[in-house]
């Protein structure tokens, strides 16, 4: 890496004067233990093993919806003193971030700025998908991320591998702004790519945008369409390895992945 390469971004959170640091820390803790509270009603049977990789597109949105419901059911974990009883996690469609912790409509407001306390960009990851790693795109520009916002990746599988109820593993949680900054730094300075590596950022981006706002960064040269594939930055490598080492029905997830990949190869 050349001496002119900018220093890697450093993860930080909201400013010290932000009054909700304890709440954010408890939410991060709640996310870590969310699998113990995750009780989905969905049950899957009769899926062909070779079609297993399609589950992420079929059930991904459902898993994310149920994750939000689980967070709300964990209020005693992230709001034990009931200081935030007027707030709830709300899913919003086709807008960044996916989830807002916001004041209930009609509640008496202490300050308009406190109507939304933080956002969560929620990404589901079916751990037996063909890629073997999360394949989501995260292209939002750093300026559209509030300092308290989080990027949360929720890994899941079926309890009996090819049937049963979805089960969740401990999520990956980072500052959304930091994740966006690291993605851009990797694209521009760490890929060792030849040619153009610059990024065009949308003007006027701000936190909690409307659906019509332009908030995604765009690579100026991206023939492979890979910009925004966050797992390729390497930032999740250690976490992905930890997930692959976990057991599903007594067998490591990594072994299941190799089995299904081999099975798919023979079918081709």
pLDDT in tens, 170-228: 999 999 999 999 999 999 999 888 889 999 999 999 999 999 999 999 999 998 899 99
Q: Is there a domain that residue 54 lies in?
A: yes
The predicted pLDDT at position 267 comes to 47
Residue 42 belongs to domain spanning: 21-267
Q: Is there a domain that residue 73 lies in?
A: yes
The predicted pLDDT at position 56 comes to 80
- Cα(137)–Cα(163) distance, integer angstroms: 27
pLDDT tens, position by position, 64-76: 999 999 999 999 9
Q: Is there a domain that residue 13 lies in?
A: no
Whether 118 contacts 148, CB under 8 Å: yes
Q: Is there a domain that residue 225 lies in?
A: yes
Q: Is there a domain that residue 15 lies in?
A: no
- Residue 27 pLDDT > 80, yes or no? yes
* Residues in the chain, overall count: 268
Q: Is there a domain that residue 143 lies in?
A: yes
Q: Is there a domain that residue 5 lies in?
A: no
pLDDT tens, position by position, 74-123: 999 999 999 999 999 999 988 999 999 999 876 655 555 589 999 999 99
- Cα(55)–Cα(44) distance, integer angstroms: 10
- Cα(119)–Cα(176) distance, integer angstroms: 9
- Cα(27)–Cα(1) distance, integer angstroms: 37
Between residues 1 and 134, which one has the greater pLDDT? 134
The predicted pLDDT at position 195 comes to 87
Q: Is there a domain that residue 14 lies in?
A: no
Question: What percentage of the chain exceeds 70 in pLDDT?
Answer: 94
Total domains in the chain come to 1
Average pLDDT score over residue span 39-60: 85
């Amino acid at each position: 890496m050349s001496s002119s390469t900018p220093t890697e971004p450093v993860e930080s959170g909201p400013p010290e004067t932000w009054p909700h640091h304890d709440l954010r820390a408890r939410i991060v803790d709640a996310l870590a233990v969310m699998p113990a509270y995750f009780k989905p009603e969905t049950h899957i049977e009769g899926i062909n093993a070779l079609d297993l990789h399609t589950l992420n597109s079929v059930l991904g949105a459902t898993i994310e919806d149920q994750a939000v419901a689980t967070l709300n059911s964990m209020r005693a974990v992230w709001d034990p003193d009931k200081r935030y009883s007027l707030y709830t996690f709300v899913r919003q469609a086709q807008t960044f971030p996916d989830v807002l912790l916001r004041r209930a409509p009609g509640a008496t407001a202490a300050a308009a700025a406190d109507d939304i306390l933080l956002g969560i960009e929620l990404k589901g990851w079916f751990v037996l998908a063909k890629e073997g790693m999360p394949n989501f795109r995260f292209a939002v520009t750093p300026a559209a991320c509030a300092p308290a916002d989080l990027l949360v990746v929720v890994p899941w599988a079926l309890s009996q591998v090819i049937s049963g109820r979805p089960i969740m593993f401990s999520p990956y949680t980072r500052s959304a702004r930091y994740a966006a900054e690291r993605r851009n730094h990797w694209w521009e300075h760490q890929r060792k790519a030849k040619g153009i590596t610059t990024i065009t950022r949308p003007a006027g981006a701000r936190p909690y945008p409307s659906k019509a706002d332009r908030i995604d960064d765009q690579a100026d040269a991206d023939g492979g369409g890979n910009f925004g594939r966050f797992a390729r930055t390497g930032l999740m490598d250690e976490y992905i390895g930890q997930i692959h080492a976990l057991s599903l029905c007594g067998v490591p997830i990594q072994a299941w992945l190799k089995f299904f990949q081999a099975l798919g190869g023979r079918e081709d």
